[in-house]
Amino acid sequence: MSLALAPIDMNVDLEANLPCRKFDPDLWFSDSPAQLELAKSLCGDCPLRAECLAGAVDRAEPWGVWGGEIFERGAVVPRKRPRGRPRKADVARDAELAVEVEERLAANGLDSRNSVRLAA
């Protein structure tokens, strides 16, 4: 297992107000789908978002929000599901969100077929 990280843009002030440094770190590893969605939204304007996502993909992070994406069992998932059987509407929404995840990964220069396994 490689622990290599994506190169960091040296123009970024590492002491900047990064959301993962400003807010409670448990937010990025919550069991609550709503809190994970909040963490994803906080990552939106982070200057290290692409590097964070690339590092998490490389390390196959087992869980949490990394680079604005939710990881579960080493795979990017569109959203965290609550316990129990999913509703039909949720299954349809997951299919739409999976397409959105693919587009977001492509926008960050990651080819999901080769570098990220999407969980079903």
* Residue 43 annotated in ligand binding: yes
* Residue 80 annotated in ligand binding: no
**What is the spatial distance between Cα 55 and Cα 53, in angstroms, rounded to a whole number?**
5
Q: Which two tokens stand for residue 100?
A: 């959105």
Parallel, antiparallel or unpaired: strands 63-66 and 75-77 = unpaired
* Residue 52 annotated in ligand binding: yes
* Residue 46 annotated in ligand binding: yes
Distances from the Cα of 1 to the Cα of 61, 62, 67, 111, 115, angstroms: 11, 13, 20, 20, 14
Strand (E) or helix (H) holding 64: strand 63-66
Specify binding-site residues for [4Fe-4S] cluster: 20, 43, 46, 52
Specify binding-site residues: 20, 43, 46, 52
